[in-house]
A and B are shown apart, each in its own frame.
Chain A
Amino acid sequence: MAIDQDFTYTDAFLACPECDLVHAVPSIREGEQGRCTRCGALLYVRHKNSLDRALAFALTGLMFFILANMFPLLTFEMEGVSQSNRLIDGAIAFWKAGYWELGIVVFVSSVVAPLMVLLVLITLLLPMRLNRVPPSPQLQIRTLNHLRPWAMSEIFVLGIIVAFVKLQDFADVSVGLSLFAFVLMVAATVMAYLTLDEDALWSRLREIKA
């Protein structure tokens, strides 16, 4: 299929985001993916019930995010004295110690961005599920794209594991309820991103607006 030289804009063709090579968008089956023939970048994926599944995962993620903020992550005990920490305590501790830059970085990457991702997904997909136009779909989808690299919950989990191992050397450390909730939140968020198909998102939006 050749491209019409006079097009204004089109979604029947797609330029690879990493090398600019133009591909005709094929009708691939659910569960399949397409890669760039020149540089190998992932171009498109199709998932069954993409939008419904992404919404379900985002709602699950939000529930676990709330739980993850209610209980301690880790408890540390030495000579009968104990101390627990919550998710936001790391950011607060940096801030109080005078390392406010690090406080902001940790706060944004472990609390604000992961929460925003879930809220943006829900306020985008829930109205669409109910056949309504979301508050500001263009802004929401752009925000989702820009937030993505800065939401670092999955890396925070590894940070917790390393801290746990280091502390074990000289004291008793125990895992709090929130740690399980946090890990489940990370899993739900990753699944929401993996199942979300942006092409399905745009075509569903067009259907609703029509």
Chain B
Amino acid sequence: MSAAPVTAKSLDAISCHVCGLLVSNRYIREHSDECPRCAAALHSRKINSMTRTWALLIAAAVLYIPANVYPVLTLVSFGQSTTNTIMGGVIELVGSGQLVIAIIVFVASVFVPIFKIAALLFLVISVQFGMKARRRERALLYRFTEFIGRWSMIDIFMISILIALVKLQALATVTAGPGAIAFAAVVIITMFAAMTFDPRLIWDEEGENDDG
């Protein structure tokens, strides 16, 4: 690639992150820093994107431990009690022969959170070190990470349904465990981490001094 690509930044303009209107910095200087079409605040890049994403990723990685170590739910039935962690819930589904559901829960609750943290860490580090290779693949990785993040909430919804439904005193009762709070926090914090990461940073130096 020879000439630098034409970006909003190179045109001294900002693309509104809500409605996509292309607004020149001259307009912003002369009028206001609100989008003339949708009134959102205009920023060329997300504010403090790298610092915020780093902070959120570290918080998520720390909470990942209690999320997996502490039980997320306890079932008491006829005086017998069974306690499950996130992974325990998956193993129990495998044990009762529900393979398809076990795979869905494993992907959503075990694979997705760790994949998200790892993928965002890789993206943040690659931007920090000005990595030039595989920009398109990294853009795709980001898009995928942002898309899958919410699906980890399956387990939290499942627990909310079980505790509301199974409360038959002596017969059967399900209660939530402290792991559920840590787990929900990991899901939400990684969602914020994906939102604060600015994928445009992957491309910002392109064409200035590289060959693809």
B13 CB to closest chain A CB, in angstroms?
7
Q: Which of B7, B104, B175, B195 has the most C-beta atoms of chain A within 10 angstroms of its own C-beta?
A: B7
Given A99-B181, A102-B156, A38 and B5 touching (CB < 8 A)? yes
Name A166-207 residues within 8 Å CB distance of B: 166-167, 169-171, 198, 202
Are B160 and A149 in contact, CB atoms less than 8 angstroms apart? no
Residues of chain A from 66 to 116 with CB closer than 8 A to chain B in the complex: 73-74, 76, 78-79, 81, 83-85, 89-94, 97, 99, 101-102, 105-106, 109-110
> In whole angstroms, what is the CA distance A92 to B163 when docked?
10
A159 to B156, CA, bound (A): 8
B158 and A159 within 8 A (CB): yes
The reply to whether A155 and B139 contact each other, CB–CB distance below 8 Å, is: no
- The 8 Å CB contact of B15, one of A17, A109, A166, is A17
Interface string of A10-23 (1 = CB under 8 A from B): 11011111111110
Chain B: number of interface residues, binned into ranges: 35 or more
Q: How large is the interface on A (under 10, 10 to 19, 20 to 34, 35 or more residues)?
A: 35 or more
Q: In the complex the two chains form, what is the Cα distance from A88 to B177 in whole Å?
A: 20
Q: Residue A160 at the B interface, CB < 8 A?
A: yes
Please provide the chain B residues from 157 to 185 with a CB less than 8 Å away from any CB of chain A in the complex: 157-158, 160-168, 171-172, 175-176, 180-181, 184
* Residues of A with C-beta under 8 A to B142: 18
A84 to chain B, nearest CB (A): 8
User: Is B161 within 8 A of A39, CB to CB?
Assistant: no
Assess A102 versus B180: contact at CB under 8 Å? Given A3-B6, A9-B23, A19-B199.
yes
A163 touches B7 (CB 8 A): no
CB atoms of B22 and A74 under 8 A apart: no
Complex Cα spacing A202 to B176, Å: 46
Shortest distance between the CB of B7 and any CB in chain A (Å) = 4
Q: Is the CB of B172 within 8 A of A38?
A: no
When the two chains form their complex, are residues A11 and B21 in contact, meaning their CB atoms are under 8 A apart?
A: yes
Q: Which of B100-150 contact A (CB under 8 A)?
A: 101, 104-105, 108, 135-136, 139-140, 142-143, 150
Q: Could you jot down 30 A-B contacts, CB within 8 Å? A: A3-B6, A7-B24, A8-B27, A9-B23, A11-B37, A15-B13, A20-B15, A39-B139, A40-B139, A73-B161, A76-B165, A78-B172, A83-B167, A90-B161, A90-B163, A99-B181, A101-B181, A102-B176, A102-B184, A109-B153, A149-B195, A160-B158, A161-B101, A162-B101, A162-B155, A165-B98, A166-B89, A166-B92, A166-B93, A166-B158
B residues with a Cβ closer than 8 A to A are 5-9, 11, 13, 15, 17-24, 26-27, 36-40, 77, 89, 92-93, 96, 98, 101, 104-105, 108, 135-136, 139-140, 142-143, 150-151, 153-158, 160-168, 171-172, 175-176, 180-181, 184, 188, 191, 195, 199-200, 202-204
Beyond contacts A9-B24, A17-B17: 7 other A-B pairs, Cβ-Cβ < 8 A, are A8-B27, A9-B22, A19-B199, A22-B11, A149-B150, A159-B160, A171-B172
